[in-house]
Structure 1
Amino acid sequence: MSDRLSVFKTYKLYVGGKFPRSESGRVYEVTDSKDNWLANAPLSSRKDARDAVVAARKAQAGWAGRTAYLRGQILYRVAEMLEGRKEQFVREVAEAEGLSKSKAAAVVDAAIDRWVWYAGWTDKVAQIVGGGNPVAGPFFNLSSPEPTGVVTVVAPRQSSFLGLVSVIAPVIATGNTAVVIASEDSPLPALSLGEVLATSDLPGGVVNILSGRTAEIAPSLAAHQDVNAIDLAGVEDAVLAKELEAAAADNLKRVVRPQPVDWSADPGTHRLTAFLETKTVWHPTGSLGASGSAY
Structure 2
Amino acid sequence: MSVLKTYKLFVGGKFPRSESGRVYEVTDSKGGWLANAPLSSRKDARDAVSAARKAFGGWSGATAYNRGQVLYRVAEMLEGRREQFAAEVADAEGRTPAAAAAQVDAAIDRWVWYAGWSDKVAQIAGSANPVAGPYFNLSTPEPTGVVAVLAPQESSLLGLVSVVAPAIATGNTVVVVTSERSPLPALSLAEVLATSDVPGGVVNVLSGRAAELGPPLASHQDVNAIDLAGAQGELAVELEIAAADNLKRVRRPAPVDWTADPGTDRMLGFLETKTVWHPTGALGAAGSAY
Q: TM-score, normalised by structure 1?
A: 0.95
Measure how far apart 1:286 and its partner are: 1.8
The structure 2 residue matched to 1:279, chosen from 264, 267, 274, is 274
- Matched with 1:37 is 33
Are residues 1:248 and 2:206 paired? no
Identity of aligned residues (%): 79
Are residues 1:55 and 2:51 paired? yes
The structure 2 residue matched to 1:121, chosen from 117, 122, 137, is 117
The structure 2 residue matched to 1:154, chosen from 134, 146, 150, is 150
1:163-189 Cα offsets, whole Å, 9 max, x none, are: 000000000000000000000000000
- Taking the aligned partners of 2:216 and 2:180, their CA distance within structure 1 comes to 17
- Matched with 2:227 is 231
Where in structure 1 do 4 or more consecutive aligned residues deviate above 2 Å? Answer: 5-10
- Matched with 1:99 is 95
Q: 2:4, 2:36 within 8 Å by CA — same for their partners in 1?
A: no
- Matched with 1:261 is 256
Could you say what secondary structure the match of 1:201 adopts?
coil
The structure 2 residue matched to 1:131, chosen from 127, 132, 157, is 127
The structure 2 residue matched to 1:222, chosen from 206, 212, 218, is 218
- Taking the aligned partners of 1:100 and 1:210, their CA distance within structure 2 comes to 27
- Taking the aligned partners of 1:197 and 1:246, their CA distance within structure 2 comes to 32
- Taking the aligned partners of 1:214 and 1:37, their CA distance within structure 2 comes to 21
The structure 2 residue matched to 1:77, chosen from 73, 78, 98, is 73
Could you say what secondary structure the match of 1:164 adopts?
helix
Question: Partner amino acid for 2:228?
Answer: L
Q: 2:4, 2:34 within 8 Å by CA — same for their partners in 1?
A: no
- Taking the aligned partners of 2:205 and 2:217, their CA distance within structure 1 comes to 13
1:101-160 Cα offsets, whole Å, 9 max, x none, are: 111000000010011000100000001110200000000000000000000000000000
Q: TM-score, normalised by structure 2?
A: 0.96
Are residues 1:163 and 2:162 paired? no
- Matched with 1:201 is 197
Could you say what secondary structure the match of 1:209 adopts?
strand
Question: Partner amino acid for 1:68?
Answer: A
1:50-101 Cα offsets, whole Å, 9 max, x none, are: 0000000000011000000000001100100001011110010000000111
**Inter-CA distance 288–102: structure 2 relative to 1 (3 Å threshold):** farther
Measure how far apart 1:287 and its partner are: 4.8
- Taking the aligned partners of 1:245 and 1:101, their CA distance within structure 2 comes to 38
Measure how far apart 1:7 and its partner are: 4.3
- Taking the aligned partners of 1:81 and 1:7, their CA distance within structure 2 comes to 26
* Structure 2: gaps (5+ residues): none
Measure how far apart 1:8 and its partner are: 3.1
- Taking the aligned partners of 2:2 and 2:212, their CA distance within structure 1 comes to 33
Measure how far apart 1:225 and its partner are: 0.3
CA-based RMSD of the aligned residues comes to 1.3
- Matched with 1:64 is 60
Q: 2:27, 2:33 within 8 Å by CA — same for their partners in 1?
A: yes
- Taking the aligned partners of 2:259 and 2:70, their CA distance within structure 1 comes to 24
Could you say what secondary structure the match of 1:127 adopts?
helix
* Structure 1: gaps (5+ residues): none
Could you say what secondary structure the match of 2:59 adopts?
helix
- Taking the aligned partners of 2:234 and 2:154, their CA distance within structure 1 comes to 19
Aligned length: 286
